[in-house]
Every structure is written in structure tokens, then in C-alpha cells.
Chain A
Amino acid sequence: VYRLHGRYHEMAPNVVPMDYTKDPDVKLPMQLIINMPELKENPFKERIVESFSEDGEGSLSFNDFVDMFSVLSEMAPRELKAIYAFKIYDFNTDNFICKADLEKTLNKLTREELTAEEITLVCEKVIEEADMDGDGKLGFADFENMISKAPDFLRYYFKKN
């Protein structure tokens, strides 16, 4: 935590106080956070920050900051990561991963190298594979069911401290 606080402080030294005894209400804006080296290359950095922020707009207080790193660390369990992963991929925050969300995810992942029909094909396949209740989009239950069988999930969500 000490280290984390150091990092947090580094990002905006004039704003973040070293002393939290008075429980100040300090938030850092998104722009600063997504420039952190751990997040910089991540295509989902904005989504990650948004899903941890209290006000939903991307500003993180120190508690949120710690929250974010704790979820991304290797000590966090699979269910917890699944929950946050779902939030990250849900671009329009309607608690469902619909086709538009999938398309955005795919574009971010491949940096828009795939053609439009390839994108459609992939999104259709994903919905076909994972949608169990047949509503045409992925609810959290579908998502978790699919993720729980994935071998790679835990490995890629680990983060070094």
C-alpha cells in the first residue's frame, strides 16, 4: 500500500496529500491514470479506470486506486476478476455485453485490422457460443460460465505490483 500510495502521489504531487489522517476527498482525473506505465499499452485502459471510479467518469480516489490494483493483482480470486472483467467489457454499462460492446472490444483488440464482415462473423460466433439464455446478448451469468472454463483467464489478468 505504501508503494501504491507513492505512485498515486507521484502522479499529481500537488494534489495528493501524503497524510491521509484527515481523510481528504481527493480524486485524480482519468488522463493521469491511463498514462501509468502499467496501463499505457492496454487497449482497455479507459474502461478499466471507468469501472473502478466512484463517479463513473473515470476519476479515481485513492481508495478506488487501491481497489483497482487489488483486483488486478495475482492474489485476487477468479470470481472477483470475472466480475470486473464483465464491467470492463460492458462499454455502455447496461449490465449486458451486447453486440455493439463486442464490436468495440474486437476493434480495440485488433486495432481495427479486421474487415467489417470478419468483425460481424466473430461477434456472431461469440454470441452463439456463450449466450445461454438466448437473449442475443451476454449477461453476467453467461459471461461467468464461459470464463470459468477458460484456461488463460487467470494468467492474463495477473498484474505485478
Chain B
Amino acid sequence: DGSDDNEEGSTVENEETAKGTDKGRKRATPRTRRSHARGRARHGDEEDDDEEFGTRRAGPRRHRSRRRGRAAGNEASDSDMEPEKARKNQANQKSKEDDEEEEDEKGGKSGKGKNEKKGEKKPDKKGKKEKANKKKKDKKKSGSGSDSESEEEPITEEELAKLKEEVEEKKKLIATLRNKPWKMKKKLSVLKEAQLFVEKFEGALGKGKGKKFYAYKVMMMKKWMKFQRDFENFKTACIPWEMKIKEIESHFGSSVASYFIFLRWMYGINMILFGLTFGLVMVPEALMGKPYGSLPRKTVPRAEEATAMNFATLWDFSGFAQYSVLFYGYYNNQRTIGWLKFRMPLSYFLVGVGSIGYSFMIVTRTMAKNANDDGGGDDTSFNFSWKMFTSWDYLIGNPETADNKFASITTSFKEAIVEEQESRKEENIHLTRFLRVLANFLALCTLAGSGYLIFFVVRRSQQFALEGLENYGWWERNEVNTVMSLLGMFCPTLFDVISSLENYHPRIALRWQLGRIFALFLGNLYTFIIALMDEINLKARYFLSFTLEEEKIVKYNMTIWEASLYNGTIPENSTAPPIQVDPADVPRGPCWETMVGQEFVRLTVSDMMTTYITILIGDFLRAVFVRFFNYCWCWDLEYGFPSYSEFDISGNVLGLIFNQGMIWMGSFYAPCLPAINVFRLHTSMYLQCWAVMCCNVPQERVFKASRSNNFYMAMLLFILFLSTLPAVYTIVSIPPSFDCGPFSGKTRMFEVISETLEHDFPSWFGKVFGYASNPGLILPFILLMVLSIYYLNATSKSYKEANLELKKKLQSVRIENH
């Protein structure tokens, strides 16, 4: 036996299959101690190892031999696998007594263990593990003093205490047995021994239920973890389009995917705006307001009736579409409508202001959140290593998912490689600077050129208009529109070419590109407006005076017309009952809000059509052409010109942002705009996802999108601010049309607020509000806000710096430790 022990002890450090016998030797080396544990039979004697040795040998010999058989196979593979165990063994060496006790326990259990083992193969895996755990724990701690108990000896006080300790340790071992990188067999035997011991002696201590309760607890915990995992999966599955975006991300990289994530976020915002306008403005009017045809403003005028239902008219958003809840003009200026006393004008006003306020809030909040993410930063000290070792998801069982995962891993590696190459690039500083200055100069020239072109074209069109448009063909009539669209198409490509001079990191190049295109569009718009400025001024003055004049004229016309119904004289005091006149015949006044709303809706629709057609022709047809004509063409179409198109991130993002700007500008005048936009974004998502996967190729240099999308958000915020200016201006300064809309009859649109305050709130409220809106109170308030902004800015800067310092410290500490 002694030789056996030595063999085992030497071959397998961590092997449980202890033929352990020599306690003395065990004490010296932890391994042998462990191996002996099994050997210890129930009779143990703390003090004298040798004695125990002698007595114990006989008992477990049977077990030992069996275990030896099984252990043999394990030895070779185990020896180099468990440095941990060895370490733990050494640690255990200290607790002699404990070890001994455990050994005895194990010995006691081993007999039972064998039988249990067979039975245990069938039951719950966890149970097995527990037992394995127990066993291992026992093994680990083996080597302690002999246990004080044996079946034959009576339990004394001190022994009781010791026994308690042992039981606790065994339990701990059971709990941690899973952690041991031992072979299953070893674990099993250790576990069985430990379990036997605990069971046997726990009963003696009066804690028989322990094991069962423990098993129950572990099972519950496992179920809970599974539930949590399923819930997380469910939550992820609920996010719309998540799978599509992940697929795109795996094939095209995170920057292209960031566009789609941005699109999805916009969709969310538009849904909420849609909910507001639909639920609080359109639905109440449709349900509770006076129906179509009851009022002049709600009816299609007689003159237009013939064409009101034509598709062409509807597509143009006139005819029936114009005289419906979709546009501003339909709404009545009645203070309350329906039996709920729903205050329509107030609601309209508040929804308009509220949607702007909500948009501001959410954009700012997203910016703040992104700033937080960015501030944390990512720990890139082991970037490549982590990518290599931890990126494969071992849970994947589906071939398609696996394909996606492979693609995403490859893309991620490529991204990291690009980053690395960028950081390694050696720069010839002077040349680069010169080239960059040159590129900026060229870009400025382009911008100036396009501005001048627009100015020139607008002036020409004004001249044409003066001379009468009939004399000129299609080109002259649509010169301005076509020139602006052409500029919008070609200048970005020009910027692209210029940016190749600059040799920036792709992410920074994208930002420059976005900035330049943004400047281009804004410049074009402003040049356009300035060129028209004279005309607008004229028209505006004319318009304002016109409306007042027209008001008088129309009113006069109406009385005359009424009189004509009475056949002749204008009655001085018309006591005659009002004649029932079909509302369609009543002469109408001008309704500039509806006209503005119509313009915006037409713009949005035409923008949508243009985008779709561009995608279909520019991407899809091009891809079809390249793919199928490649066989019969002189040069290789796929590698040369035109080849497959890449996904144009900057163009699409800007299109999205400008589109949203249009929506914000127009939704006050046309409540249907958010609805149209929701529809547009929904279809655009599917169309673009399909187009990207089908017709585009990934960019050559795949780069990682910056974590924060703050650049996009900043642009969005700017556009939001610009778009809300016109609406706010009209609310505050221009009188609403007298003949249409919920504010007709008032001198200013915001008077609805003061009206509500007077009528619906108690009087003291009005007084308080009056005091609060006193400039003397508002100015100090503004001053206070400015001061607090400054203070908060200063504190946040200091926090950021402290953060950076701490990070640096951490890094240096980590480096030191190696």
C-alpha cells in the first residue's frame, strides 16, 4: 500500500483516487494526504496518523482499488491541468486537523459513495455536481488531523465542535467543488465522500435537512438565472429591427450600422410626435368637431369641386385632402367642441409648442447620455487579445448566425487593424499640412461657386417671371429647382475627391465630409432666400397688407352676395332669417397657413420619392448592370468604373436630418406631417436595409464608428433650432388668417393662452401669471440661468479631469504589478 500511495501521489497531484494510506507521508505532501483521505475509514484517530493508517487501510481498500482503475486513465491528462489544485493543496497543508477529519469523513463516505454513484448517474446533473463538489472539497482539505468521530465512538463535546467545523468545511467544499478543474471521476468520488460525511454527521448534529435545502436553493438559483437570461433575450427580441441591424453591422461595420440605429431612433421620435398630433389634434376634431360640409372652411369650394376627387389633385394635397383634418385650415375656432368640452384651439397650440419642446428635450438628453458613455472610455489595453480569444460566441448553433458571427469578427478585426495602421502611420507633417490647407481652400471655392451659381440662376428666373413664363420652355421654368438638385448631387462627390488629399483617419474624414455638405446645403438655402429677399420683402408686405385689405374686401363681398340672395337691396337691419346657403358657395378668404402646410407636405413627399428612386436606380440598377454586363464588357466592371456602390453614410444622414427639419417646421401648419413621416421612415428602413445588403459592398477601409453619435445629435439640434424659428415667429408676430384655422379671429395666435387663463382658471392664477411674466422678473431669472450654466460647466470639466487622472493612475498601477 505504501508503494501504491507513493505512485499515486507522485503521478497525479490532484487526484482524488487516493489509495491513501500513509498519513505521515500525507502530512508531508498535500497530494498524498488527499489520496489518503479515501483510505481513511470510519475509524479515525486524531493524534496518531499511523494508527489510523493501520486501521483504515483495510476498509477502503476495496474502494481504492476501484478508484485506482478509474483513476489510471485520468492521471496522464490531469497532471498538467490543475496547478490550481496544487496551490490549494499547499494551502490546505496548514490545517492538519481539519484535513484529517475530512479524510475520515471521506473514508466514511466512500463506501456509500460507490453505490450512490451508480444511482447518481441518472439523477439531476446538478446533484452530481454537488456531490462532486463535496468530494473535491473533501479531497482538498484532506490531510488534516484524523477525525474525531467514528461510528463506534461516542461523541464528546470537543469532538462535536470539531465535527461541526468539518461539516462546515465539507459544505464549503461542496459549494466550490465545481470550480476545480479536475476530472469528473475525481470530482464524483470526492463529492460522494463529502456528502456521506455531511449527511451522516449532520444528522448527529441535528441539521439533517441541510443538504436538501441546499440542493433546493441551488436549483432555485439556477432557475432564476435561466429566467433572467430568457427575459434578456426577450427584451432584445422586442427591439424593432434589431436582427436586421446586427446583420448589417456584421457585414458592413459599425459606422454603416450607426446610420440605421440613428434612423431607428428618429423613427421613435416621430412615432411620439405622431401620437401627439394624431391623438390630441386630429382625432378630437374628427370625432367631435363639426363634420365636413357644415362650415364654409370645412367644405371644398364650388369652383374646385369638379376636380376635388381626382388623384392628381389628391396627390398635390389639394381638393379633399386640403379640406380635411390634415391641414390647419380645417379646424374651427370654436372654443370648446363636443360634449367633453375639449378645448380645440388650446390643444392645437399646446401640441405644436409641446412637440417642439419634446424634441429639444430628447435631443439634448441623448447628447448628454452619449457624452456620459464617451467619458467612460473603453479600456483598450488588451484590444487585440480580447478580440481573438473572447469574440466567438459558444452558444451559436445556427449556421446563418454563425456566418454572421464570422463576418462580424472579420470586420471587427479589420476595424482594429485600420485603427492600428492609422496610429502607426508616419506623417510628413509639412506635406500633410500643406495638402490639408489646399483641400480646404478647394472646398471653400466649391461652396462659393455653388452659392454664386444659385444666385445667378434665381435672378434669371425672376427676369423670366417678369417677362412672362409662357415664353420659355421647361428648362427655364424649372431652372432653379433643377440647378439646386444637381448641385446637391454633384458637390458631395467633389468633396469626396478633395478629401482624399487630406489623408485623415476615416472617421475624421467622414466628419469633415458631413460638415462640408452641411455647409453646402445651408449655403444654398440662404443664397436662395437672399436672392429672393427683395421679392419676399415685397411679397410679405404686400401679403400682410393684402390680407387686411382682402379681409375687408371679402367681408364686403359676402354682404353683397348675401344681399343678392335677397334680391336686391342691402337690408339695413337684416331681420330676415339667415338663408340656408350651401357652405360650398360662400366666398372664402385666403388661408396662408394651409398653403404653407401644403408646401411642406409636397416637399416631404417629393423628397421621399426622390430618395427611393435614387436608391432603386443609383444602387440597384447599377448593381444589376455591373453584375450582368460584366461578361460582355471590355473592362472589368466590378473593379473599375462603375463597380458596386458603397453605402453613402454622410449623404443619407444629412438627408435624414434635413427631412426631420422640414417636419419640425411644417407640423404646426399641417398636423398630418408626422404621420407621413412615420410612414416614410418605416418604408425607408426596409428599403434601405434590403438595398444595403443586396447592392452595396462594404467600404474598403472599415472603420469603427465613434461610440457617441454626438456629431449627428449636434447637427440635429442645430437644425431643430433653425426649424422652429419660423413657426415661433409666426405664432408671435403674424396675425392668423381670419377665415380658417383654430385661431381665426384673434390678433395673435398665442392669445389663446391668455384667453384660457381668463376663462378656465381661477382669477388668482391669472394674477400670479401676470406678475410672473413681468420683464422685471424674467430678466433676473435669465441671468440666474446663465450663471448656473457656467457653474455646472466648470464643475463638469473638473470632474472629467479628475477622471482622467484616476484612469492614468490605474494604468500605471497595473503596469507596475506586472
Which residues from chain A sit less than 8 Å from chain B, CB to CB?
A: 1-5, 20-21, 23, 37-38, 40-44, 53-56, 61, 63-64, 66-67, 70-72, 74-77, 79-80, 83-85, 87, 89, 95, 102, 105-106, 109-111, 113-114, 118, 121-122, 125-126, 129-130, 132, 140, 143, 145-147, 149-150, 152-153, 156-161
Contact = CB atoms under 8 A, between A and B. Distances in A.
Contact of B410 (A5, A20, A113, A159): A113
B125 A41 contact: no
A140 B129 CA distance: 26
Contacts of A67: 183-184
18 contacts: A1-B128, A38-B397, A41-B399, A43-B392, A63-B183, A66-B128, A70-B129, A110-B409, A110-B410, A122-B388, A122-B413, A122-B416, A126-B385, A147-B389, A149-B379, A149-B381, A150-B382, A150-B389
A95 B289 CA distance: 81
A136 B126 CA distance: 41
B409 A2 contact: no
Nearest to B221: A75
B685 interface: no
Interface stretch (B173-181, B493-501, B530-538, B739-747): B173-181
B354 interface: no
Interface in B385-430: 385-399, 401-402, 406, 409-410, 413-414, 416-417, 420-421
Contacts of B562: none
Given A77-B179, A143-B389, 6 more contacts: A83-B82, A85-B389, A106-B388, A110-B409, A110-B410, A156-B395
Given A56-B77, A111-B406, A66 B125 contact: yes
Nearest to A88: B389
Interface of B is mostly: helix
B70 interface: yes
A8 B350 CA distance: 68
Nearest to B818: A132
Contacts of A114: 410, 413-414
B217 interface: no
A83 B84 CA distance: 9
Contacts of A95: 80
Contacts of B382: 129-130, 146, 149-150
Given A121-B420, A125-B384, A129-B381, A157 B410 contact: no
Interface stretch (B115-123, B539-547, B770-778, B791-799): B115-123
B748 interface: no
B294 interface: no
B406 A70 contact: no
A23 B66 CA distance: 10
B222 interface: yes
B766 interface: no
Interface string B774-818: 000000000000000000000000000000000000000000001
A40 B409 contact: no
B83 A140 contact: yes
Interface residues of B, number: 64
A110 B397 contact: no
Contact of B81 (A20, A79, A87): A87
Interface of B: 66, 70, 73-74, 76-77, 80-84, 118, 120-129, 178-181, 183-185, 188, 222, 225, 379, 381-399, 401-402, 406, 409-410, 413-414, 416-417, 420-421, 818
B394 A72 contact: yes
Contacts, number: 172
Given A109-B409, A121-B420, A147-B390, A5 B122 contact: yes
B379 A37 contact: no
A130 B384 CA distance: 9
B390 to A, nearest CB: 5
B185 A44 contact: no
A143 B389 CA distance: 10
A158 B381 CA distance: 24
B417 A121 contact: yes
A77 B127 CA distance: 17
Contacts of A1: 120-125, 127-128
B385 A129 contact: yes
Contact of A158 (B383, B392, B395, B398): B395
Contacts of B410: 110-111, 113-114
Nearest to A154: B390
Contacts of B80: 95
A92 B655 CA distance: 54
B64 to A, nearest CB: 15
Nearest to A63: B184
Contact of A37 (B74, B121, B129, B397): B397
Contacts of B421: 121
Contacts of A147: 389-390
A88 to B, nearest CB: 9
Contacts of A156: 390-395
A119 to B, nearest CB: 9
B179 A150 contact: no
B386 A152 contact: yes
Contacts of B393: 156
B397 A122 contact: no
A3 B125 contact: yes
Contact of A79 (B84, B387, B391, B401): B84
A156 to B, nearest CB: 5
A146 B385 contact: yes
A23 B384 CA distance: 46
A156 B392 CA distance: 7
Contacts of A20: 118, 121
Contacts of A157: 394
A41 B413 contact: no
Q: Which of A55, A71, A109 has the most CB of B within 10 A?
A: A109
Contacts of A83: 81-82, 84, 181
A77 B393 CA distance: 17
Given A63-B184, A66-B128, A79-B179, A44 B392 contact: yes
Contacts of A64: 183-184
A129 B383 CA distance: 8
Contacts of B127: 1
A67 B181 CA distance: 9
A156 B393 CA distance: 5
A82 B791 CA distance: 48
Nearest to A117: B417
A109 B387 CA distance: 10
A75 B409 contact: no
A157 B818 CA distance: 27
Contacts of B120: 1
A79 to B, nearest CB: 6
Contacts of A146: 382, 385-386, 389
A37 B156 CA distance: 57
Contacts of A75: 126, 129, 178, 222
B60 to A, nearest CB: 17
B178 A80 contact: yes
B78 to A, nearest CB: 9
Interface pairs A-B: 9 shortest CB-CB: A1-B125, A41-B402, A63-B184, A125-B384, A110-B410, A67-B184, A21-B118, A152-B390, A77-B179
B764 to A, nearest CB: 58
Contacts of B180: 80
B386 A84 contact: no
A160 B395 contact: yes
B384 A122 contact: yes
B191 to A, nearest CB: 12
Contacts of A80: 178-181
Nearest to A161: B125
Contacts of B179: 76-77, 79-80
Contacts of A41: 396-399, 401-402
Contact of B390 (A44, A113, A153): A153
Given A95-B80, A126-B384, A152-B386, A84 B124 contact: no
Given A75-B222, A80-B178, A5 B121 contact: yes
A160 B226 CA distance: 9
